[in-house]
Amino acid sequence: MEILGIDIGGTGIKGALVDTKTGNLTTERHRIATPKPATPEKVANTIQKMVNHFNWKGLVGCGFPTPLQHGKCLTGGNLHETWKGVQVDELFSKKTGNEYSVVNDADAAGLAEISFGAGRNKKGTVIMITLGTGIGSGVFLDGKLLPNTELGHVLYKNGEIFEKYAADSVRKSENLNRKEWGKRLHKYFKHINLILSPDLFIVGGGASKKLEKFVNHIKIDTPIVAAEAGNEAGIIGAAMAANFHIK
């Protein structure tokens, strides 16, 4: 089944048509910069542009960078505070006329990796960690998703969450070198490893392409691998979630 998958991020909104049986993109990926400020109205307008680009009339799956419950946004996340309480799938549907399935973006990326990538046929607990504007997470037990985890919001110290300490956006804004960033990530992964004792970590997001440059600074026993779908995992997983009707 072919579905339009859209990955909504803090800096960019990316989309492509996806064959949900194979996990392959059937079109070139299209990217539009996330509007500033990323209010519901402006993001909905951008989704309209994405749908128009593909001239798409069918089901759309969206990965969304905030905590969600049955398609409703629980916080503004890294987008805008006015998203809190918005029923995202209904907003987009009213804007474009398409039917939408909306899931957390890291859950979407994890679905792609569990089905077709680095987590395929892996038993036990597998955790997808996306490093980008924020830190997202997807937790799987024997291939089954536990939705809406927010492990980037685990407290670091003095009330500060790890996302504000170790996200890729923090590396860029504070001009951290790979060693400095790697040491911060070590604290984060060590903490999550202690809490959940997973069998595998998969790293996604933009940083997944450069994992070898910092992974040696993360000194834990649990294997850490890069997402095989790379930055396309969110698009693929969003389309798959729509196919599964996970909301």
pLDDT tens digits along 39-89: 999 999 999 999 999 999 999 999 999 989 989 999 888 899 999 999 999
Q: Give the strands of the sheet with 135-141, arranged side by side.
A: 144-146, 135-141, 125-131, 200-204, 224-226
142 and 61 both lie in a single domain: no
- pLDDT of residue 10 exceeding 90, the answer is no
> What is the pLDDT at residue 231?
77
47 and 128 both lie in a single domain: no
- Is residue 113 a part of any domain in this protein? no
57 and 127 both lie in a single domain: no
CA atoms of 172 and 164, how far apart (whole Å) = 12
DSSP state for residue 42 in the 8-state scheme: H
pLDDT digit string, tens, across residues 206-246:
888 889 999 999 999 999 999 998 778 999 999 999 987 64
239 and 210 both lie in a single domain: no
> Could you tell me the CATH number of the domain that includes residue 161?
3.30.420.40
Q: Helix (H, G, I), strand (E, B), or coil: what is residue 127?
A: strand
56 and 148 both lie in a single domain: no
100 and 71 both lie in a single domain: yes
Question: Domain range spanning residue 214?
Answer: 120-230
What tokens appear for 225 in the block?
Answer: 């691998």
Q: How many domains does the chain have?
A: 2
Whole-model pTM?
Answer: 0.91
> What is the pLDDT at residue 245?
63
Long-range pairs for 206-210 at CB < 8 Å and ≥24 separation?
Answer: 206/131, 206/132, 206/168, 206/231, 207/131, 207/132, 207/168, 208/131, 210/178
